[in-house]
A = this chain, B = another copy of it.
Amino acid sequence: MSSRERKKDKGIPTGVVTRLPIYLRYLTTLRNKGVSRVSSAQLGEALNFTAAQIRSDLSYFGSFGQQGYGYDVNELLHHVSRILGLDRTYAMVLVGAGNLGKALASYENFRKRGFEIRAIFDIDEHLVGNYHACCIIQHVDNLENYLKEHPTDIGIIATPGDVSQSICDIFVRCGVRSIWNFSPVHLHVPEDVIIEHMHLTDSLLRLSFRLNEREQRD
């Protein structure tokens, strides 16, 4: 089956999507080091994937690389960036200006990649009116009005779990089609809304699970 047929098929498998940012990060490192060419074997060794896996992943997006030559780092980086949607900017709105929200708003890497937090909302009267990362923190009561006037690509939820579904509902009602959720709650969204969960506790629990599994084995 050719890459084009597979692509037409239905979406890219989750595993491939998960690996693309890993390729992007590593290729960026290579480019910054002045490396101009890389083979699938070298990519595989650096990233702990097989060379076949890498060739298969990249084949979803067209035919890159040449047998015996490998990949041109700049060209591959350009393709992977485009595939990941990094050839445009994204308007983002953050709700929740606690420590985590502040960390997200200050994260320079996002802005560099085109992900711009354009407004920050919180319920805490002590925070409202303060500047953080070039935004004035606004009261969450204004969220709906703001969204009506400012088309927003991605809604970021960094609130406590007990209010996150209601914030999510406001985003959805106002036409925001992608949600990035940091609250420790499984949020419900309509089928046409994309949601990406960052559950910190889940990640920590995977670590403790493996730690215990290993200690029991040793």
Contact = CB atoms under 8 A, between A and B. Distances in A.
A178 B211 contact: yes
Interface in A130-187: 153-154, 177-178, 180, 184-186
A49 to B, nearest CB: 12
Contacts of A18: 202, 206
A194 B178 contact: no
Given A206-B18, A210-B194, A214-B194, A26 B186 contact: yes
Name the prevailing secondary structure of the A interface residues. helix
B17 A201 contact: no
Interface residues of A, number: 56
B12 A85 contact: no
Given A85-B212, A186-B25, A178 B207 contact: yes
A206 B103 contact: no
Interface string A185-218: 1100000101010111111111111111110000
Interface of A: 11-12, 17-18, 20-22, 24-26, 47, 83-86, 90, 98-100, 102-104, 106-107, 109-110, 113, 115, 153-154, 177-178, 180, 184-186, 192, 194, 196, 198-214
